[in-house]
Chains A and B, each alone.
Chain A
Amino acid sequence: GESVGLHLPTLSVQEGDNSIINCAYSNSASDYFIWYKQESGKGPQFIIDIRSNMDKRQGQRVTVLLNKTVKHLSLQIAATQPGDSAVYFCAEKGNYGGSQGNLIFGKGTKLSVKP
């Protein structure tokens, strides 16, 4: 069935380095993708989104890359800071199957930033 997954469950980076969090999706019909950040004890917060007619979108210190050929999504965080430590979720939206057009979330990657 459709799934949104992550290559690595945990990622540890040095403060100041760039972070790359990866996500694989399985359904080529998905037309919208989104990244969320969830800090401990809080609800997920929107970071950045991208539509399938784009392959790159930039925000403040973050960039999302979409490779539809291999069905891969990545989140790049520049100059990672301790405040970036959190669990990051990708999600896809596709009008297929039981999803009824809702977001389908991956299981998350925990990012730890070492000072």
Chain B
Amino acid sequence: DVKVTQSSRYLVKRTGEKVFLECVQDMDHENMFWYRQDPGLGLRLIYFSYDVKMKEKGDIPEGYSVSREKKERFSLILESASTNQTSMYLCASSWTGLNEKLFFGSGTQLSVL
């Protein structure tokens, strides 16, 4: 089975802190994604990556950056966390090609105080 692992289930950070959310997938997927999920707003795409060292902005990239130094790992970085970044963060991965199915991690619930 495909496994997408997010390093933390819950995180509590202070405003202004630099926050790293880590994601690792074990199926050699080319594509990796970061979403945030908020009540009433559904899943919104923050950033995605089609290959190592490549990144593309999604719908809501402001306040975030990403890093993909290795194929299996995709990191989401909050340079200076703010309270409006309190959310559930979901990482996903997929193969390139006709199979667009995304495999999701369990999520990281981030609270910024």
Chain A residues within 8 Å of B, Cβ to Cβ: 32, 34, 36, 41-46, 49, 89, 93, 98, 100, 102-103, 105-108
Q: Which residues of A contact B90 (CB under 8 A)?
A: 43-44
On whether the beta carbons of A89 and B43 are closer than 8 Å, the reply is: yes
Q: Which residues of B contact A36 (CB under 8 A)?
A: 104
B33: interface (CB < 8 Å): yes
- Could you list 16 examples of A-B contacts with CB < 8 Å? A34-B100, A34-B101, A36-B104, A42-B106, A42-B107, A43-B92, A43-B104, A45-B104, A89-B42, A89-B43, A98-B59, A102-B45, A102-B58, A103-B100, A107-B41, A107-B42
Output the nearest chain B residue to A42 by Cβ-Cβ distance.
B106
On whether the beta carbons of B48 and A107 are closer than 8 Å, the reply is: no
- Known contacts A102-B33, A102-B58; is A43 also within 8 Å of B42 by CB? no
How far apart sit A49 and B92, CA to CA, in the bound complex (Å)? 17
Q: Which residues of A contact B92 (CB under 8 A)?
A: 43
Output the nearest chain A residue to B108 by Cβ-Cβ distance.
A43
Chain B residues within 8 Å of A, Cβ to Cβ: 4, 33, 40-43, 45, 48, 56, 58-59, 90, 92, 100-107
Output the nearest chain B residue to A33 by Cβ-Cβ distance.
B100
On whether the beta carbons of B101 and A43 are closer than 8 Å, the reply is: no
Output the nearest chain A residue to B102 by Cβ-Cβ distance.
A103
How far apart sit A98 and B102, CA to CA, in the bound complex (Å)? 18
Output the nearest chain B residue to A6 by Cβ-Cβ distance.
B42
Shortest Cβ gap from B72 to chain A (Å): 17
How far apart sit A44 and B41, CA to CA, in the bound complex (Å)? 15
Q: Which residues of B contact A46 (CB under 8 A)?
A: 101-103
Q: Which residues of A contact B58 (CB under 8 A)?
A: 102
Further 11 A-B residue pairs, CB within 8 A, beyond A41-B106, A43-B106, A98-B59: A34-B102, A43-B92, A46-B101, A46-B102, A49-B101, A89-B43, A100-B56, A102-B48, A105-B43, A107-B40, A108-B42
